[in-house]
Structure 1
Amino acid sequence: MSAFGLLLFAVPFLFRTDVVQQLTTLCTLVILASMWNVLAGYGGLVSVGQQAFLGFGAYATVFLAQRDVHPYVAVVLAAGLSAVLAVALAPLLLRLRGGQFAVGTWVVAEALALLVALDEDLGGGTGVSLRGLNAYAPDWRRAYTYWLTLAFTLALLVAVFVLLRRRTGVAIQAVRDDEDAAAALGVRAGPLKFALFVLAGVGCGAAGALTLANTLFIQPQSIFGVQWSAYLLFMVLVGGIGSFEGPILGAVVFFLLQDWFAQFGAWYLIGLGLVAIGFALFRPRGLWSLAGDRLPFRLLPVGYALREPPATGRLGGSRRSASRQ
């Protein structure tokens, strides 16, 4: 494990700068897929407006950088401000359920995009650049951005793992399956949904800020675009919704397809939609189930499951036992 971590850290020294930039993009996709999976796969909160936090994180970075905050410090602060935004929005949006919640998140994203487009200091509708990073040589700038993105990716994945590994993981899935029944058993759904919503807001805000640091330019119609929801759906459904490893695999698949087939324009997006629908209908557990079901153990175990032990006793009876996976 330590060797793998050292290899990840050494990427800027081993590969060309364009490869480093692409791997930075992959890390941001892993963040986005994992955050959406936390909301929808574990919490049952299907959002089509996570681009609200993506765009907010990017433009918060620009706003802070324009006020002489160091750009990389601005990225970290923008993730924190995304948490503040999530806390402010949670009392309104978490009152909604199902399709109402999905539409509500989309409306918030559109409203934020409109507000940004009307602000000339943030570039209006034409976009804005993060000029502060031009002080670095391109190779070192991409290396620093990669290391910061890698740090955010690992920290957020660890946060998700710890959250799901504890008893809260079981409670969260109980709320997802039947909120009323979970409440009847004493599960406090409100604080759990609030925690998931804020965590996803922080992650998506960080991903937006890191996307800006990686590309140095953003526009409201792109960073707040609803196509991000299509990307998130694709990654999580194809990888395996409701699993820890699935969204990571889905992000890798999407990254490769995006690199290979992006030149097909609108047909590329249509193809992504058809593939996602196919997985939802015929393999709802995603690609990870192909490998996970064949392993004699859980690679990254979260939650609890019932196991049927081998038959024991004179009559060949068996008993069930709850075991942690």
Structure 2
Amino acid sequence: MEEIYAFQDEQPYEVLHKLLVAHHHVSVYLSDDEFDDLVFTNECLRYLAKRTLVNKKLDITNTLLSYHETVAATPSEELAGTVFIVDDTPESCAELSNKYGVCIVSRQNPAEASYLTEELARKEIRTANSYRYSTQGKVYVGWKAALNPRSKRWQATPMNSLVVIDNYMFGDKGDRLAIGQENILSLLDALLPSSLSVDFHLLLVTANEQAFLKSRNLHKLTQYLQGELKRPYAIQVGVITRDVSPEHRRALISNYYFGASHHGFACFKGHKTQWPNDLVVSGIFRNVEEEGFDVPWISMHDELRAVRIQRDKNRKLRNPDSGYDDPTHLVYGFCDNRLLELVP
């Protein structure tokens, strides 16, 4: 019951309902007798139980499994946006969060999970600046330098999946492909966790209007990223291409944050930026008690839904006889990113 009661003093029930009704189920760790008794005596639990009767999207279940066992037994594809709220020490919660890349909030110190409700980064990229830094004999440029020390804050945010959307990530001529690879590697190196006990899912979505990108390019790209990132866990990489859409989407979506870049992610050439840019990243429940609190969440879901539709469309365009993709609409590598399971 502690897991549910944790909300009672923090937020109005209406806000709790908004957070949970569309995207999470509630699990309570009690014996059946205790559960039945508390449904009638605990106001917060009774509120949630009533809501389940009128809205089938909200599921409340009772289990005697510990949350350690629950997290460990959760299928990989379901470890996308789940939030566990438990009565355990912040240290234990952080250890398990980092192990699986999921949000586990300690009721004893909920502030440790403030990344859910805060703005995580607001970075202005200026053409006059040099983005380079060195540590332990290594020199880093581009996003890795621009986000330092912000990357430390992001690396404290649990994650096991990432979707990067940018129509102009790899360009369509000259050295744009190489520049795109350089930029995406630098960005990922700044963001990906140092350790993880499950496979990391990475999905890149970009335009391919002139069929510039071929399967051979994407094969080299995925091999390059997997080789250069040097993480002690498997990285499943997928790429989806499409026609240039009227919306110039440049989004960064992880388990618990949504980010957007005004001029895209391929803005660096070495330590210099090619044009002014900015990057804003917010926890998905930022400003939860204010009007429009769910903007990051809605943006996240809108983008993920569009990506899922594009993936399914590309697969339908695949030649059933040859197995080859449509030249413009490629779906290469591992494209069943667990974040796409968050949307229908």
TM band (smaller chain): under 0.3
By relative contact order (CA 8 Å, sep 6+), the higher-ranking structure is 1
- The structure carrying a bigger helix percent of its residues is 1
- The structure carrying a bigger strand percent of its residues is 2
